[in-house]
Amino acid sequence: MSVLVNEIQVFATKFGVPPAVAMMLPAVFHQGAEEVGMTAGELVHTATYGDKELGNYIVAVAEECAASEMGKECWANFKENYNG
């Protein structure tokens, strides 16, 4: 596992993010980091340890992504492939 994946896992655990939503976090962090001019790792670190409001916002965006048709399809494909 990469360092970034480990950091996102810490974030997801700290904020109680369910798996279908956590699956969206890498994309949300990469996009958010690009928009604010920092690395994804820096954004994960700030959201995890420095700014709870930012962390809650990241979770909300990931929840929106997971609730979309594409998000539901991605989760269904993951479960199908994971379960066999």
* Number of other residues whose CB lies within 10 A of the CB of residue 15: 18
* pTM assigned to the model: 0.90
pLDDT at residue 1, rounded to an integer: 52
Asked if 66 contacts 72 with a C-beta cutoff of 8 angstroms, the reply is: yes
Asked if 44 contacts 29 with a C-beta cutoff of 8 angstroms, the reply is: yes
Q: Residue 22 is which amino acid?
A: A
pLDDT at 83 over 80: no
Of 56 and 83, more confident = 56
Note the pLDDT tens digit of each residue in 16-55: 999 999 999 999 999 999 999 999 999 999 999 998 999 9
Note the pLDDT tens digit of each residue in 59-69: 999 999 999 99
